[in-house]
Amino acid sequence: MAMTDVLRPGYLQVRVLDLEEAIVHYRDRIGLDLVEVAPDGRAYLKAYDEFDRHSIVLRQADESGLDVVAFKVSSEAALDALAGRLRNAGITTTTIPEGEQPGVGRRIRFRVPTGHQVELYATIALSDQGPMINNPDLWRTEPRGMRAIRFDHCLLHGQDIDGTAKIFTDILGFATSEVAVTPDGQPIAIFLSCGMKAHDIALVRHHEDGKLHHVSFLLESWSDIGHAADLIAQHNMSLDIGPTRHGATRGQTIYFFDPSGNRNEVFSGGYQFYPDNPTRTWTADQAGKAIFYYEKKLHETFLSVVT
């Protein structure tokens, strides 16, 4: 349920080193549907329970990482209003015309203080293979791989997370669901929600700007996390950590890497959030428990490896 004009995370475009290898990973291992490899060279994919045409875009490049994360808004009028609010706050916006991505309408692009590109859009074509709506079965075809339900959120690293969070809360209408803070109260991690999820985007302070920590996909249950772990082992995928559980957000999780080194997460669970809820706070001395509730400690690759 959306609480603002921003409905939800819409799509994310990541850079990969080998497009065909990446397609195998996201299609056959995570379980997304390949919509098309377009004439522009990008691959467009979606999860089986998503109505929109695509949610993940893969672009082959010389360096892995994030190109842009985009959020779907409620209407073209809302898009205009949000663009005006961004400009009134002194933020430069660029209009990306309809059709630059197949099936996607006009987009508003801007850069946040952490160096990441963010887009807003109101219009996207519905998928021919979206969830059934008349006497619907659970799915059109049985899910495969890790059986990802949807692209859920991403975690971004950069220096000025306070400034970036301020844009999301003050201009886009997000609420802060959870934070981790230093002894003097400075945020080191901020979790932001535009609806009733524990978070739709998260920010962590890091010495480099514009970095992607992970892209996350929702699974149905804790047993599906175990199934994902089995697939990671069977296919010799690069495991970061898990299966385990977060203290922050309460999600059950496993982290691993795509063939280009971009970190993926699949998770289930997590609490429901309302914007009038108090913000949950973790202190720095409990950061290990906040991130990995069972192990109660962080490990080196989770802290240092970003793309």
- CA–CA separation, 229 and 235 (whole Å): 10
- CA–CA separation, 120 and 11 (whole Å): 10
CA 26-229-30 angle, to 5 degrees, is 15
Handedness of CA 95, 93, 169, 254 (dihedral sign): positive
DSSP states of 256-303 as a string? EE-TTS-EEEEEEE-----TTSPPEEEEGGGHHHHH-TTT-S--HHHH
How far is Cα of residue 90 from the mean position of the Cα atoms in its chain?
26
DSSP-derived letter for residue 77 is H
CA 127-129-199 angle, to 5 degrees, is 65
- CA–CA separation, 305 and 135 (whole Å): 45
Stretch (H or E) spanning 230: helix 222-234
- Residue given tokens 């978070």 in the structure block: 199
- Note whether 201 and 186 are within 8 A (CB): no
Q: Which residues are catalytic?
A: 153, 199, 214, 246, 255, 265
